[in-house]
Amino acid sequence: MDKNLIHLRNIIESNGYKFTKQKQYILKVLINAKSHLSAEDIYQIVRVDSVGIATVYRTLKKLKELNIVKEINIDGTNFYEMKIFGGRPLHIHFKCNECNSIMDIYNRSLILDYLKLNNNAEKENNFTVFDADIMLIGLCSECREKKICQDQLNLEE
C-alpha cells in the first residue's frame, strides 16, 4: 500500500473507524483527482468496484469529520478535495458565476497572506483557527471573453 494511504489508514483507525476497501477506493479517487469532485462524480468511478452511492455519501461525511477531505458547497452541490496528500498545496477557491466552475488559486505570497490572516484572527480575538475557507466569486477568463464579445454584438444590433 502506498505511503499516503498507510498514513490515512492510521488516522482513520486511530479515530475508531475501520479502513475498509470502500474507503480506500474513494480516497484513491480523491488523491488522484485533478479537480473538485461531487459525490456523484466519485460514485461514477468507484461503482465499478461495487461501491454504492450511499457508501460514498457516508464515507465522505466521515472523511470530512476527520479533516481528511474538504467540502466546498456551490449552489447546493457539495464538492470534495483532499486536505492532505492531494498533491495540491494550500489554496483558495474562485467560483465563476457564469459556468459554475471552481478553480484553485495558489501562489507563495497568497499562502503567506493566508497564514497572516489566520495569525491575526487568533491574536486579536483569542481564537484557534483550524481552517480557512476563502471563496472568490466572479467571472472566469473564458466567460469574461464571451461576455465582452456578447456585449459588442449587442452594441452592434
Give me the residues that bind Zn ion (CB under 5 A), please.
Answer: 81, 96, 98-99, 104, 140, 143
Q: How far is the CB of 5 from Zn ion (least distance, A)?
A: 21
Does 149 count as an annotated binding residue? Answer: no
If the CB atoms of residues 41 and 104 are measured against Zn ion, the closer one turns out to be 104
If the CB atoms of residues 5 and 72 are measured against Zn ion, the closer one turns out to be 72
Residue-wise DSSP of 80-142:
EEESSSSS--S-EEEEETTT--EEEE--HHHHHHHHHHHHHHHHHHT--------EEEE--HH
Q: How far is the CB of 14 from Zn ion (least distance, A)?
A: 26
Sequence-distant (≥ 6) Cβ neighbours of residue 105 within 8 angstroms: 91, 92, 93, 94, 136
If the CB atoms of residues 98 and 122 are measured against Zn ion, the closer one turns out to be 98
Sequence-distant (≥ 6) Cβ neighbours of residue 59 within 8 angstroms: 22, 23, 26
If the CB atoms of residues 56 and 81 are measured against Zn ion, the closer one turns out to be 81
Q: Euclidean distance between the first and final Cα of the chain, in Å?
A: 63
Q: How far is the CB of 125 from Zn ion (least distance, A)?
A: 26
Binding site feature residues: 96, 99, 140, 143
Specify binding-site residues for Zn(2+). 96, 99, 140, 143
